[in-house]
Amino acid sequence: MQANKKTQKKDEINLEKIGFQPITFENYVKKHLKINPLEDEKDLREKLNSALFALKNGVKCSCGNDIWVIGSAMVGNGCFTCITGEALPDHDFEIDTALKQS
């Protein structure tokens, strides 16, 4: 029975990741800076690294879901739904290593 609970939990975590479009850290930084040329690159990298660190250390959204690294870097630790108000991502970007966390 323990194995079933473990499998079920893993499936729940993976369901949270459905709909994200994986992007490397470096490609996201380039894309973000191209769209937001006034943003400070060093600051962006620090915020993304901080959010990745939080995810890797088990920080969750207040609702209990995994945090969305890209969104959390901009507005504070939260999941996709709590940050955007949308139920699921629809090809929204997420750092590829964050998707592999689960």
For the chain, the structural domain boundaries read 2-99
Residue of 95, 102, 99, 57 lying closest to 74 (CA atoms): 95
Residue 101: pLDDT band by 50, 70, 90 thresholds?
A: low
Distance separating alpha carbons of residues 79 and 31, to the nearest angstrom? 21
**Residue-level pLDDT at 29:** 98
Residue 43: is its pLDDT beyond 60?
yes
Residue with tokens 């969305």: 68
Verdict on whether the full-model pTM lies above 0.95: no
**SS3 state at 92:** strand
- pLDDT, tens digit, 9 for 90 and up, residues 14-25: 445 678 999 999
